[in-house]
Amino acid sequence: MTAWIPLILLALAALLPLAAAVLRPRAALGRREADIALFRAQLAELDREREAGRLDEAGHRAARVEVQRRLIAAADQTEEAAPPRRGGALLVAMLPLMAAAGIGLYLLRGSPGMPSAPYDLRAEAMARDDQILATLRERIGTLDPRSEQARQGWILLGNAERGRGNRAGAIESWTRAIDVRFDAELAGDIAEMEIERGQAAAATPWITRALVAAPSDPRLRFLAGMVEAESGRPANARALWQALLADSPADAPWRGLLERRISSLP
């Protein structure tokens, strides 16, 4: 029995942050993050609808611009204080019971002697993912490299690589898609990912090319300023962002973000 005492104490210690959270005044933390996650999911869903042929290019672009505006607005919103939680003291009093109940349920239904998943199993799962992507590459290879089907395949592969954090793989796949047919929005995705991995210089030609096709696109103009800021040219970044701010409607959701970016420049 004494062997379980440290585990009970550890469980109580793990619940202490919950106690601190319920006793302090609650803030609306998480609303902005939830909104951002929702809008990102909507962007991914729009991409899937377009790839499946259920949404044409014009409809996809219009819907994506609207969701991106909402995404920028969500990232720009401030958090508001909320009233304290009711019943917080009662919940804190129940923490020891929650810890004991959790341990009891684990002893009853769990498998204390079962070891954690070894690295070999995790590596096997990663290998399966690699095999799936390799199969997709092989199927793309059987298509006409200049066909729309091949282009959509490369976009799908790039999305998958981005989803698992492989920026280089995503950029390579999207570049192959653009080789089939240029798309300013996809070029912006590549530029954004290059900036994220600290390669602002590599993002420049993509933004330049995309702005030729879509010179008024606010996202591309914002990314152009990001490249200048990341490259140590704050004066250029300020000029680009101030021009974008001047061209933006008074109710544009990205105005607050732009103003903060400009004020943060040296």
User: Domain boundary residue among 162, 181, 200?
Assistant: 181
* 98-130: pLDDT as tens digits: 555 555 555 555 555 555 556 666 667 677 778
Torsion of CA 59, 65, 67, 68, to 10 degrees: 150
* 159-193: pLDDT as tens digits: 888 888 899 999 999 999 999 999 999 999 999 99
* 36-62: pLDDT as tens digits: 665 666 677 767 767 776 666 766 676
Whether 168 maps to a domain, the answer reads yes
For residues 169 and 194, membership in a common domain is answered with no
pTM here? Answer: 0.56
Q: What are 174-179's contacts with CB under 8 Å, separation 24+?
A: 177/151, 177/152
Domain range for 195: 182-266
| CATH number, domain with residue 204 | 1.25.40.10
Q: What is the C-alpha separation between 56 and 65, in angstroms, rounded?
A: 14
DSSP 111-140: -TTPPPPPHHHHHHHHHHHHHHHHHHHHHH
Tell me how many domains the chain contains. 2
Q: What is the C-alpha separation between 24 and 88, in angstroms, rounded?
A: 9
For residues 148 and 221, membership in a common domain is answered with no
For residues 203 and 174, membership in a common domain is answered with no
| 137 CB-near residues (< 8 Å, 6+ apart) | 157
